[in-house]
Amino acid sequence: MAGSINKVILVGNVGNDPEIKSMQSGDKVCNLSIATSESWKDKATGERKENTQWHRVVVFNQNLVNVCENYVKKGAKLYVEGQLETRSYENKDGQKVYTTEVVLRPFRGEITMLDSKGSGASSGGFSSPGQSDYNDGGYAAPQKSSRTPVSELEDEIPF
């Protein structure tokens, strides 16, 4: 059994265009905000209610940063897979502030664009596979399923 798991999956809409910054190392980092919403009908009043949560997403994977920079725009629907990290910093007033973010590190994260082509927002599907899948850290389009028809499998079953 694994000691622990830190995995976050979000499906939501991008709040603003991605913010791309360069680090001292020359690598880029991408900051996104993703909104997830739920809606329900209030039983007491019959009124429609909605609750929206905003999530900070930080992408360090260089291939996914390039995808965000070139294809992701405000309003795009994304599938994001990463891990939670809490960090602290001092604000302008010198007070210690804590923030929790969904972080996508190299070989530990995925972004899949869920918008359909021609919808006005970004389209396509890009992900960064885990190290067990690819060692180059490149992004790849999701693979189509190649299922064999059932009739071909039923001919000679050995048991």
Q: Which two tokens stand for residue 149?
A: 């028809």
E strand spans, the chain: 8-14, 19-22, 28-41, 48-59, 77-90, 96-104, 110-113
Mean pLDDT of 134-157: 45
Residue with more model confidence, 34 or 133: 34
The pLDDT value recorded for residue 122 is 38
Q: What is the pLDDT of residues 12-62, one digit of tens each?
A: 999 999 999 999 999 999 999 999 999 999 999 999 999 999 999 999 999
pLDDT given at position 88: 94
Q: Which two tokens stand for residue 62?
A: 């260089």
Residue 3 pLDDT > 70? yes
Structure tokens at 38: 């739920």
Structural domains in the chain, CATH included, are 8-40+48-153 (2.40.50.140)
Q: Which residue has the higher pLDDT, 144 or 50?
A: 50
Per-residue pLDDT of 76-132, as tens digits, reads 999 999 999 999 999 999 999 999 999 999 988 999 999 875 454 433 344 444 333
Between CA 20 and CA 87 the distance in angstroms is 19
